[in-house]
Amino acid sequence: MQSDPGSEDKVNDHDRQANDAIETILPPDQQDQGAEAVEIDCHISEQDHALGVKGVNRALATCAQKLHIDTIQRHIFLCADQTKPKCCQKEVGLQSWDYLKRRINELKLGVKVFRTKANCLRVCDRGPIMVIYPDGVWYHSVTEAAIERILQEHVIGGQVVQDLAFVITNSDKAILPLATSTSETETSSTKSPSGKDVAAPS
């Protein structure tokens, strides 16, 4: 019996989406020690379900605490791994997504910056498309090099990357640098796509 040629790709897509659905976030002390990320299980137990709204709210509050949701300063949405790729080729979007995840971990931003893969952000040209909240800044052509600039200049430094930004919905509000502790701003520099050392601004 011959297998469906596309079945392997479908399985790989399913596995990748399942893995991406589970945040791997470390508390700051473990990040500084270079510990490996751990999976956060946020499934609600049957016992909590049985308690109704109170049990569900309690379970979700516990999940939020594990994910350090109360420390989030910025949330990045990136159009990638689309069901129907329109703004860019699927491979390009996935490459940007993988780079974004890796750099957030390398820069130790995991408890301050969340990232979410969006199936479609409805701007279907010049992709990958990215939007950062609460700043309300939309970026086009978000390749690896663009992501590095956005992370360093906007997410960390509080300066919009003007040549890539096409909409700023909260233009009346100041965009502030990412609040960091002294220990985090003194971390060793990391490499940008150009091969140059890049350090998070203090």
How confident is the model over 183-195, as a mean pLDDT?
43
At 160, which CATH number? 3.40.30.10
Domain range for residue 84?
72-198
CA distance 57 to 62: 9
- Amino acid identity of residue 85, one-letter, is P
Are 39 and 21 in contact by the 8 Å Cβ rule? The answer is no
Residue 118 lies in a domain: yes
Averaged over 133-143, what is the pLDDT?
97
Question: How many separate domains does the chain show?
Answer: 1
Residue 171 has a pLDDT of 84
* Residue 75 φ/ψ, nearest 5 degrees: -125, 120
* Residue 185 in domain: yes
- Cβ-Cβ contacts under 8 Å for 195 (sequence gap 6 or more): none
Whether 80 maps to a domain, the answer reads yes
The residue that leads in pLDDT, 169 or 4, is 169
Which carries the bigger pLDDT value, residue 145 or residue 179?
Answer: 145
pLDDT digits (tens, 9 = 90+) for 45-79: 888 888 899 989 999 998 888 888 889 999 999 99
Average predicted confidence (pLDDT) for the chain = 78
The pLDDT of residue 197 is 47
Looking at the predicted structure, is the pLDDT value of residue 27 above 70? Answer: no
48 is a domain residue: no
Q: Which residue has the higher pLDDT, 174 or 138?
A: 138
43: confidence class by pLDDT, cuts 50, 70, 90: confident
DSSP state at residue 105: H
Whether residue 33 is contained in a domain is answered as no
Q: Is 127 contained in some domain?
A: yes
Flag whether 17 is in a domain.
no
pLDDT tens for residues 75-134? 999 999 999 999 999 999 999 999 999 999 999 998 899 999 999 999 999 999 999 999
